[in-house]
Amino acid sequence: MLIRRLSNALLKYRFSKEAAEPQQVQRVKAPFGFTQVNCLVIHPIFYPNKGPELELYLAEEAVGLSKSLNWTLEKGPFWKEEYSQKIRISQGRNPLQVKVENNEDELKEEGWELSSKAHLRNGEYIYLPFLNGTYDDGQMLVDLSSESDDDLGHEWKNKIIRNSIAKSSLVKVKRIHSSTFFTKGKVAMLGEHIYDKKINAVFINHELTPLQTRNLEKVWTQYAKGEIATFRRSENPDDSDMATDAETDIEYEDAYVKVFDRFTMILQIFAKRSTQGVARQQIELSFLKFAKTKLVRSGSAFASLSSIFLGDLMMAKEVYLEVVSAKQRRALGKMSGSGESEIQIQRRQIDERIAKVRRQIEEEGLQRGKLKQKKLIHTVPRIALIGYTNAGKSQLLNCILQKEVVESKDLLFQTLSTTSKQIRLASGQKAIMLDTIGFITDLPHDLVESFKCTLEEVADADIVLHIRDISHPCSEQQKQVVLEVLQQLGFNEEFYSKKMIEVWNKIDLMRTPIDFKQIQQETYPIVPISALFNTNVKQLLQIMEDKSNLIMNKRPYKLRYNIDEHQQRLKWLFDNGNISGIKNEIHITPVKKGNPTEIEYEVILDEITYNRYIATFTPELRIKKNKGMPPPNW
Ligand SMILES: Nc1nc2c(ncn2[C@@H]2O[C@H](COP(=O)(O)OP(=O)(O)OP(=O)(O)O)[C@@H](O)[C@H]2O)c(=O)[nH]1
Ligand SMILES: [Mg+2]
């Protein structure tokens, strides 16, 4: 059963790429004449740097950002043969084995390959979904001479590949060149690599000025088209197999290299992945503002702006359609203002759109304000999950709910808008849990705004769970990033010490034991868990409950009533969601024979719920309390 599910999941993964592409968006011819983005990641290292280990992890994170757009990753300029060797060996040692009971022909139709020496056991075949190689007595035999690491980009889960791509992408930068970021020699070296590997997107993990971006795009596009003949190529014009490629599968005239910096990359992820609500509008706003600066500063505005939205590079829904729709508008006869130049039309369109989005955001802000007023008086605790991207927030929510309600994936920025779900704490008390967008190092300033509104809900939460991937080597740095962003958003120390519970997630991956001394030192609770294996999650629910009871002023009440009303009252208490613990059930023996048995319960309630409970079941008690006076609105 498990195997079958696994194989189905793998099948799904394999074919999900085609299915995931939105159909309705008009496609523009993409660079190199195909829609696939072949991305080169470059992580520049400056002097003094942050230390080799941290720099490498930042590079891995950069690789992760490209991966979260489902781009194909290309080896960096400093790729070494030993990396390829390691990858092949690692694949050989850990072959991806899937045993399936499905119909063989069906599987073949779906593109699965039956290995030539498939191991036969109880009529089951072993299929090799991604790897080249054969099985012999259950052992994977890998042909070490073959180039099996071509498709690196899709093997994101393999840590060795991830790490190798990151290592090959580290580029030392002694000083930043004002117009091209890199020095002439580096630009040429990378240009050569771009030509060799047919790269059409370069992500430089740093902020670039619009001028630097434009110049790099220009010069690397020339390299990609083969217009700049490099030393090596002009020396050996015949022995390069690139020449055949040029004639066959690549239209070099169409070659276009797009350069992304950290800002545009994160913006691109946000634009592509966030689909709803204010978060999407905020992102659209950042996007439009950015598009406008491009437009103003660039002389050849239309070309450079449209290049941002090229085909798959920018499936940014309305943003995409609105901005590139100048020609469509003309076609529809909606062109106005004679004498308006292309750039003026673009600018006006962007301005109009900015005004519209701003209005929508304001309106929603007002709505939220009203809702907030309502939320101020609430009896169900609100718990927000925050933390660095990929820390396991969504996984924890799924684990508590015991089903997959939010997607949890090994991708950066998987969750982009706040989701709230109802959960039950340790005693059965209801609570609302909010899953939020992940944090990241050097979040571009403009995007902090988008964050602000998505995280507004955090400010209203009674408890904030800071989920940390404690197994991550840069866990401490990630924590600092979270704290800094919180500070930028206006959350102070008091907020931290009053509402915070720190959750050390992924303890199953820890190589060193947990430092319990550190746990005891802090002023807020620290709870080590594994959301994947459901370790210690129950205890976490208890700690959340204790803290929320304290914050929400809940206290124990003794309720005594006839046993025949038991079901009705208990149901009410559960339905109203605010009961936190029923203790000490005592059956009181009848005083006289024939009397109904009474029952006494200890429940922990907030005052509002207690008053409602009294009003529902014993209204006479309330009248007594008011001493027979009519209510104020009589
Ligand atoms: N080994 C291990 N993996 C975990 C654990 N918790 C989460 N993961 C994995 O970590 C990856 C990221 O988990 P998510 O829940 O998507 O992380 P997130 O914090 O919601 O990430 P964003 O939505 O991108 O901010 C997934 O592949 C999870 O399966 C854990 O306790 N142990
Ligand atoms: Mg998530």
Q: Supply the CATH number for residue 607's domain.
A: 3.30.70
Q: Which ligand is nearest to the CA of 451?
A: 1
Hey, what's the torsion of the CAs at 210, 212, 214, 218, to 10 degrees?
180
Q: What is the pLDDT of residue 573?
A: 79
Closest to 489 (Cα-Cα) out of 452, 526, 444: 452
Q: Mark the residues whose beta carbon lies below 5 A from ion ligand 2.
A: 393-394, 414-415
Q: Are 210 and 304 in contact (CB under 8 A)?
A: no
Is residue 119 in a domain? Answer: no
Query: Where does a domain end: 347, 372, 397?
Result: 372
Q: What is the pLDDT of residue 293?
A: 65
Q: What angle do CA 104, 106, 107 make, to 5 degrees?
A: 65
Q: What is the pLDDT of residue 274?
A: 62
CA distances from 395 to 401, 433, 469 (A): 10, 13, 12
Nearest ligand 1 atom, CA 435 = 20
Considering the domain architecture, whether residues 201 and 170 belong to the same structural domain is answered as yes
Q: What is the pLDDT of residue 417?
A: 65
Is residue 247 in a domain? Answer: yes
Amino acid at 417: S
Q: What is the pLDDT of residue 613?
A: 85
Q: Are 271 and 287 in contact (CB under 8 A)?
A: yes
What separation in Å is there between the alpha carbon of 417 and the centre of ligand 2?
A: 9
Considering the domain architecture, whether residues 396 and 426 belong to the same structural domain is answered as yes
Is residue 401 in a domain? Answer: yes
- Per the structure, the count of domains in the chain is 4
Considering the domain architecture, whether residues 310 and 408 belong to the same structural domain is answered as no
Is residue 104 in a domain? Answer: no
Nearest ligand 1 atom, CA 437 = 25
CA distances from 297 to 248, 324, 347, 368 (A): 38, 18, 12, 37
Considering the domain architecture, whether residues 187 and 245 belong to the same structural domain is answered as yes
Print the domain residue range for 289. Answer: 274-372
Considering the domain architecture, whether residues 179 and 319 belong to the same structural domain is answered as no
* The token pair that represents 485 in the structure block: 């962003």
Q: 């996007």: which residue's tokens?
A: 287
Number of alpha carbons in the 13 Å side-chain half-sphere of residue 503 = 32
Cβ neighbors of 391 (< 8 A, separation 6 or more) are 438, 467, 468, 469, 478, 505, 506
* Rg, the chain, Cα only: 30
Considering the domain architecture, whether residues 316 and 459 belong to the same structural domain is answered as no
What separation in Å is there between the alpha carbon of 415 and the centre of ligand 2?
A: 4
| Site to substitute for ligand 1 among 270, 401, 408, 505, most atoms within 8 A of C-beta | 408
What CATH number corresponds to the domain at position 401? Answer: 3.40.50.300
In DSSP notation, 424-468 reads: E-TTS-EEEEEE-PPB-TT--HHHHHHHHHHTHHHHH-SEEEEEE
Query: Where does a domain end: 309, 343, 372?
Result: 372
Is residue 20 in a domain? Answer: no
Residues having CB closer than 6 A to ligand 1 are 387, 389-395, 408-410, 412-415, 438, 505-506, 508-509, 530-532
Is residue 234 in a domain? Answer: yes
* The token pair that represents 562 in the structure block: 């006839």
Considering the domain architecture, whether residues 220 and 246 belong to the same structural domain is answered as yes
The list of the chain residues with pLDDT below 50 reads: 1-34, 93-102, 110-150, 153-154, 233-252, 296-326, 328-329, 332, 336-338, 623-626, 628-634
CB under 8 A, 24+ apart: contacts of 156-164: 156/64, 156/67, 156/410, 157/410, 158/87, 158/90, 158/91, 160/86, 160/87, 160/90, 161/87, 162/60, 162/63, 162/64, 163/56, 163/60, 164/75, 164/79, 164/83, 164/86, 164/87
Q: What is the pLDDT of residue 234?
A: 45
Nearest ligand 1 atom, CA 410 = 27
Average pLDDT of the chain is 69
Q: Are 179 and 210 in contact (CB under 8 A)?
A: no
Amino acid at 184: K
Q: Whose CA is nearest to atom 13 of ligand 1?
A: 392
Considering the domain architecture, whether residues 228 and 86 belong to the same structural domain is answered as yes
Is residue 456 in a domain? Answer: yes
Considering the domain architecture, whether residues 389 and 445 belong to the same structural domain is answered as yes
Name residue 204's beta-bridge partners. 42
End-to-end CA gap in the chain: 66
Considering the domain architecture, whether residues 431 and 336 belong to the same structural domain is answered as no
Considering the domain architecture, whether residues 596 and 610 belong to the same structural domain is answered as yes
Nearest ligand 1 atom, CA 408 = 16
Query: Where does a domain end: 354, 372, 390?
Result: 372
What separation in Å is there between the alpha carbon of 413 and the centre of ligand 2?
A: 7
Considering the domain architecture, whether residues 74 and 42 belong to the same structural domain is answered as yes
Quick check: ipTM above 0.90?
A: yes
Is residue 313 in a domain? Answer: yes
